[in-house]
Each structure stands twice: as structure tokens, then as C-alpha cells.
């Protein structure tokens, strides 16, 4: 087990299913080649029928809920993990692409309207 990943699965009694969830999460992270240490917590939500999926990384704190039976978690979590992290990574890149230097000092302006 890599020390880069701490994966906590709560609320599931089936050890084989827990292993499948942990393996799916670890493989998704390795596939995405994300640097640094990561902590992932999967647990039943306070809202019945949902699972809370929390991801903690260097600059990432993200929580999402998944409405799926426990036996489908290993199939759905990697997809949702990729979608969520891709969105978190792409938003700052897209914002940076919209900025341009205002003048020689390097001050940046954005072309998007700012709501105050």
C-alpha cells in the first residue's frame, strides 16, 4: 500500500467490497498521475441512500455525494473522482487563459464580468 494514499471506507461490512472500493480509488489516482499525498473518505451520508465521498489533497478539499447501492461504488467512484478533479483543475486553467496583462507591470485583468 502506498503511503501517498489514505483511503477510509466506512459503513460497509463486506471486506471484499471494501477492498474493491480501495483498489478502484487507488487505480484512479495512479491513472490520473496526480502528485502528492491524498486522503479519501467514503461513508454513508446523513441523507439516506447516498454515499459521501471526500477527497483531500495538497490544494484540494472536495466533497460529493453519490446515490448508488454500495456494490456499485467501485464502478462509479473512479468516474466521479476523475470528473470532479478534472473540473477543479480545469477551472483555474480556463480562468488563467481568460486573463491578459493590463500593462507592462504584469497586472492581470480578466475579461469575465465580476459580480460584487
pLDDT tens digits, 40-96: 999 999 988 899 999 998 887 888 899 999 999 999 998 888 887 776 555 544 444
Predicted pLDDT of residue 108: 40
**Is 9 in contact with 22 (CB distance < 8 Å)?**
yes
Structural domains of the chain, ranges and CATH numbers in brackets: 5-100 (3.30.160.100)
What percent of the chain lies above the pLDDT cut of 70? 72
**What pTM was estimated for this model as a whole?**
0.70
Sign of CA dihedral 110, 113, 115, 116: positive
Closest CA to 82 of 2, 27, 23: 27
Residue 107: pLDDT over 60: no
Amino acid at each position: 500500500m502506498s503511503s501517498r494514499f489514505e483511503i477510509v471506507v466506512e459503513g460497509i461490512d463486506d471486506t471484499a467490497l471494501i477492498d474493491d472500493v480501495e483498489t478502484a480509488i487507488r487505480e484512479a489516482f495512479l491513472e490520473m498521475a496526480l502528485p502528492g499525498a491524498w486522503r479519501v473518505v467514503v461513508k454513508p451520508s446523513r441523507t439516506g441512500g447516498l454515499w459521501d465521498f471526500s477527497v483531500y489533497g495538497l490544494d484540494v478539499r472536495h466533497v460529493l455525494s453519490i446515490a448508488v447501492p454500495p456494490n456499485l461504488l467501485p464502478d462509479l467512484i473512479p468516474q466521479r473522482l476523475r470528473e470532479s478533479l478534472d473540473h477543479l483543475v480545469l477551472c483555474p486553467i480556463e480562468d488563467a487563459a481568460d486573463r491578459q496583462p493590463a500593462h507592462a507591470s504584469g497586472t492581470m485583468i480578466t475579461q469575465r464580468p465580476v459580480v460584487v
